[in-house]
Chain A
Amino acid sequence: MSDFEPNIVAFLCNWCAYAGADLAGTSRLIYPANVKPIRVMCSGRVDPVFVLEALKKGADGVLIAGCHPGDCHYQSGNYKANRRVILLKELLQQLNINPRRVRFEYVSASEGQKFANVVKEFVEEIKEIGPNPLRGEQ
């Protein structure tokens, strides 16, 4: 499994996490290139359908990152996203899909380093879990 390179979809909120990822880039921080970022206006915009669709189409991991508690540009989108992810993980467990494939993180616009660390950690974790069993079914 050493040559397994995970394919990770990252939904990043426009105001915090995406800016954080941008900062990681402008700061020339090095982190694995396995993440395919998708900018959303708010982590609360991430419908569980998006996550299931990503997994169905073979994503090995899905990262959802939003503002820290109290910082949501729309007041409460990040809280909703967090609760949805917790509940979604329980559903994934029932579907025998490792819930660790889905991860929710708070990343602020100033946390370029945190973003890079989260990605590094997540890529390592997914490498350990292995490829998505649904990959190649579609």
Chain B
Amino acid sequence: MNETRIEVKDLVVRYGEQVAVNGVSFAVGRGEHLTLLGPSGCGKTTTLRAIAGLEQPSSGRISIDGQAMYDAAERRNVPTEQRGVSMVFQSYAVWPHMTVFDNVAYGLRVRKQSPADIAANVERALDLVQMRHLASRPASRLSGGQQQRVALARAVAFSPTVVLFDEPLSNLDAKLRAEMRVELRELQRRLGVTSVYVTHDQEEALAISDRVIVMNVGVIEQIGTPEEIYNRPRSRFVADFVGSANLIKGKLSGEGLFAAEGGAVLKVNAPHKPRGTETEVAVRTAYIGLAPQPGDNQVAGTVRQRLFHGDFVQYVVDSALGPLIVRRPPTNLLEEGAPVTLSFSPEHTVLLQEQGA
């Protein structure tokens, strides 16, 4: 992954007066699977479309395999069709006036492959998504899940080296989405393509990516592996948007010590170099135990509410730190009103950067 395939530098995209992407830089390595994650309007889709050449940036540089696709300084803008990337659209964009076969064969025909090669490549692509038996069906008579598979097959049929995904699973129901997630990950590994994936679904982002970029209002909040993003969120936004976390207010009171507003002092871990003015720490709901553990931060509390979710149980525990949310496996259920000791390791007590820093 040391070889850079896509490089985006200081990208700015504007719609009229509005700045959709405000100076974004990142690189994607060969064969890497990178995800842009963020709420709607954060600029993730615009960034992706700029890579595809579907959106004209205002400034910055985008290069693929070392070649400039867009460069404001050189006034260079390679048209979409010459960039050699492939894309799966949110709406699938399966052409309703063609059959499944014709849809998948499109990119191959554009590239003037021989009919025999086209047939072979389409078959191979349809096999990948288990749609071969529907090759002759008109695309207008496919279910949502089937269209999604056709769009996928079409995107990989002409063996592109880069595939862009614009929220490809967002129109599927939850069950199908979970299945497709597994298949997508599998497909990526098998084809060895480089991919950039856009989603607003944090679970999806964490599950299928090598690296995740969290974006908000046109800028990057954090770049890292899924584990890094989850375990060491840099800002309040990341802690809140990815996974579920308790935010505790207070101020730094010494080397690695944080005085919470309720009076308790916590040992904390800072992924960045502390400035001394930070006011918040985040603790993941899944990392809080309800029994004392040696070496941990420990606070006494009382269970106020219990919600049984099946895969986990969510407790709201009143404590000196305020009400904290705790998620535990659904074993050894505690009654509401039970006294507990909240305990969480300093490693998981993450000091957050100030807003706007």
A interacts with B = no
